Amino acid sequence: MKFVGSQKVLITGASGFLGSALSDKISSLPRYSLVTTVRKGSRNKAVDAIPIPIASMSAETDWTQALHGVQTVIHTAARVHVMNDLASDPLSEYRKVNVRGTLNLAKQAVAAGVSRFIFISTIKVNGESTLPGMVFTADEQPHPVDPYAISKWETENGLYQIANETKMDVVIIRPPLIYGPGVKANFLAMMRWINLGVPLPLGAIHNKRSLVALENLVSLIVTCIENPAAANQIFLVGDDEDLSTTELLQRIASALGKPARLFPFPTCLINFAASLLGKRGMAQRLSASLQVDISKARKLLDWEPPVSVDEGLRKAADDFKKRSSGL
């Protein structure tokens, strides 16, 4: 698949952390015209984007207006991973949005003549952690564990079935933890801890985890819009430098211009204490390894991460400091 001249791209979830950055980037490229969908009541700041409010994403959502004339769909909207999910049946709730909602969009995209559907999945489809010295690869057998990851894996399978039965290409991208300007959740909490000078018992964790800077993920997605080698492929993405939790906190501190007040504490005791507090999942993310192999994207797409970990952390830290100061 190769387009000549301007082509129309639809980004779903354009008011989100990834969708907003992706919209800004694509709207700056003259060869694309951009349509975005956002939750009702949300706004998309991308210049020259056409925002279309969507009340909810389900098997009944009508995407006709958003899909008109579109060649490529980049689907970032989802029911994201919910910590301490209180739903009585979390998997059912994820399936409503992530599986049935996405496959409804994909089927309507086929009917509208869309040529490529880029789906942002999650590394959690591969599994929750890697053994020391091992890495996740793009084409290995997945092992999703929690309801969120299972819903994403089921969606991937449904999309490939659609691709096999139609002329629409599907591209799957599975990112690990994404950080950058505007980051929230656990990464934002870590920056707050460091910024406040909170002493943390995380000074002797020797795991290895892959991360991806927002700018690097956006770069890979843009590469996948037109590259013919991306058709019907799965790609893992990362910064190409894996860090221990201790190293990450030290690098965040450096980016913030703050001291890292870390003291060594046995990992086994951290995990035990976290279990007693009902925070076993958080402890696992702090102490376990999760490494990804990005060589497939390098070889097939001739892609390289454009920014380093330190540059990505600096941009996240600069944005954090600006927001914290109220500017």
Catalytic (active-site) positions: 148
Instruction: Quote the crossing angle between the two packed helices 267-276 and 280-287, to the nearest 10°.
Output: 160
Separation between Cα atoms, residue 156 and residue 153, nearest integer Å:
5
Asked whether the CA dihedral 118, 122, 127, 132 is positive or negative, the reply is positive
Tokens read off for 227: 């590259």
Q: Return the SS3 of 188.
A: helix
Separation between Cα atoms, residue 281 and residue 267, nearest integer Å:
14
| Distant-in-sequence, close-in-space partners of 214: CB < 8 Å, separation ≥ 6 | 17, 18, 21, 178, 179, 180, 181, 182, 183, 312, 316
- Cα 51 vs. chain centroid, distance in angstroms? 21
- CA distances in angstroms from 140 to 135, 196, 296, listed in the order given: 10, 41, 12
Q: Which helix (H) or strand (E) holds 54?
A: strand 50-54
Q: How many Cβ atoms are within 10 Å of 76's Cβ, its own excluded? A: 22
Separation between Cα atoms, residue 10 and residue 180, nearest integer Å:
23
- For every residue of 79-127, DSSP letters joined together read ----TT---SSHHHHHIIIIIIIHHHHHHHHHHTT--EEEEE--GGGT-
- Using the structure block, give the residue that is written with the tokens 């969908």: 37
Q: Return the SS3 of 238.
A: coil
